[in-house]
Amino acid sequence: MRFEDLRLTEPLLRAVRTAGYRTPTPIQFQAIPHVLAGRDVLGCAQTGTGKTAAFAVPILQRLSDGAPRGTAPAGRIRALILCPTRELAQQIHDSFRTYGQYTGVRQTVVYGGVNQNSQARALRAGVDVLVATPGRLLDLMGQRLVSLAGVEILVLDEADRMLDMGFLPDIRRILAQVPAQRQTLLFAATMPDAIRKLANDILHQPVSVQVARVSAPAETVAHWVYHVEQPEKPTLLTRLLARTPRARALVFTRTKHGADKLTRHLLRAGVRAAALHGNKSQGARTRALAEFRSAQTPVLVATDIAARGLDVDDIAQVFNYDLTPDPETYVHRIGRTGRAGASGTAVSFCSAQERANLRGIERLLRAALQTVAVPRGDSQQRRGMSA
């Protein structure tokens, strides 16, 4: 199937072609026709499946086609997209801007951690599409800088992540201000009972779209494990990165302090790297992501704040420097590679203290990670060592 087969208008097709896309992903060709038809959608899709375009493209078409505005006065927000983090909000906004560049649809993004003045100016100027994190949106609503009375389309993206982060009360406060007569789209990577209950409460006769089994990693990802003790991990990582110096790599650590310490080690070793975690200012985080996307900084060392919603193509390798005790977090981490059918490699470092974590991951995957011999000089461990 091609995008032309989805009955998209020429401005949308032109934007999609300009962005370099020709063939829709499974979530896109399943969801786009239903969104265009005005149906509510319950989508179960992992990161890296093209989920953002699956709702952004048809929303832009509905708004630019002059879909019924109901009783909303001109200049009011017509589509509201809620998501859990600043990074994801910015990425969704960038997608709307990319796909909507020939439509005339106006959009902006609001999130916390930065001065609100520029966000307030954009809202006063009038927007059709607002992408927001719940906390900052409620702040702006409290200041009467935002009215949701004209919302026709509501999207909850990564709803399970918002639940994990404690946003459910905020979401319900926001829902109370959105018209009952609306189209609602809810997307999540997993479907715990609380998300299913929320979906039952807010969706009207939804179409269910699921493109991968819950907690299933992409089949194009190879899973490797090195059995290496904690003091030897920095040297091993440096050696492995040196083998592919131009490839983009994402490295996950357990703590913010660990991310900073490892980044300093890599920089001393001549590896261009940056750290990304919650203690960084929004400016520093935005800068680190921009330099990672452009490959100016090919190695990004991150805590799990980046495991969900990090929209960067062509990540060749994901390193689990610290092996997570949560198997589903492993799946979300490695979802940053092997995207859209491309191949990728997930490399895990497992110390003696982390073997229980490894066993949990292998149970979830229903397969053993491929054990790889540590290069001579890094460890006395050898291929075939039992996990």
Q: What is the pLDDT of residues 113-139, one digit of tens each?
A: 888 999 999 999 999 999 999 999 999
66 shares its domain with 34:
yes
Domain stops at, among 161, 179, 210: 210
292 shares its domain with 338:
yes
In a domain, 387, yes or no: no
In a domain, 153, yes or no: yes
Cross-sheet strand order for the sheet of 299-302: 273-276, 299-302, 248-252, 315-320, 344-350, 221-227, 370-371
337 shares its domain with 281:
yes
pLDDT number for residue 191: 80
Range of the domain at 104: 3-210
Cross-strand bridge partners of residue 377: none
47 shares its domain with 187:
yes
Tell me what percent of the residues of the chain surpass a pLDDT of 70: 88
The predicted-structure confidence for 176-204, as pLDDT tens digits, reads as follows 999 999 999 999 887 878 888 999 999 99
188 shares its domain with 262:
no
Q: Give yes or no for residue 251 having a pLDDT over 90.
A: yes
351 shares its domain with 283:
yes
Other beta carbons less than 10 A from residue 227's beta carbon: 24
* H or E element at residue 374: none
pLDDT number for residue 86: 85
Tell me what percent of the residues of the chain surpass a pLDDT of 90: 56
The predicted-structure confidence for 76-111, as pLDDT tens digits, reads as follows 899 999 998 888 898 899 999 999 999 999 999 999
263 shares its domain with 291:
yes
241 Rama class: left (phi>0) / alpha (psi -120 to 50) / beta: alpha
Domain stops at, among 147, 179, 210: 210
Query: Which residues, in sequence order, are CB contacts of 215 under 8 Å at separation 6+?
Result: 190, 327, 328, 331, 364
193 shares its domain with 254:
no
Mean pLDDT across the stretch 288-317? 81
In a domain, 55, yes or no: yes
194 shares its domain with 79:
yes
In a domain, 378, yes or no: no
Q: Residue 344 sits in a domain of what CATH number?
A: 3.40.50.300
Q: Grade residue 306 by pLDDT with cuts at 50, 70 and 90.
A: low
Tokens of 265: 């080690």
Q: Is the separation of the CB atoms in 95 and 51 below 8 Å?
A: no
258 shares its domain with 226:
yes
111 shares its domain with 196:
yes
Lowest mean pLDDT among 24-38, 258-272, 285-299: 285-299
In a domain, 383, yes or no: no
In a domain, 385, yes or no: no
245 shares its domain with 269:
yes
Q: Grade residue 67 by pLDDT with cuts at 50, 70 and 90.
A: very low
pLDDT number for residue 76: 86
* DSSP state, residue 254: S
pLDDT number for residue 49: 73
Mean pLDDT across the stretch 341-361? 87
More confident residue, 366 or 9: 9
Mean pLDDT across the stretch 314-343? 79
* DSSP state, residue 205: S
Tokens of 373: 């011999």
In a domain, 379, yes or no: no
pLDDT number for residue 71: 37
Domain count, the chain: 2
Of 342, 344, 346, give the one whose Cα is nearest residue 330: 346
In a domain, 380, yes or no: no
Domain stops at, among 188, 210, 232: 210
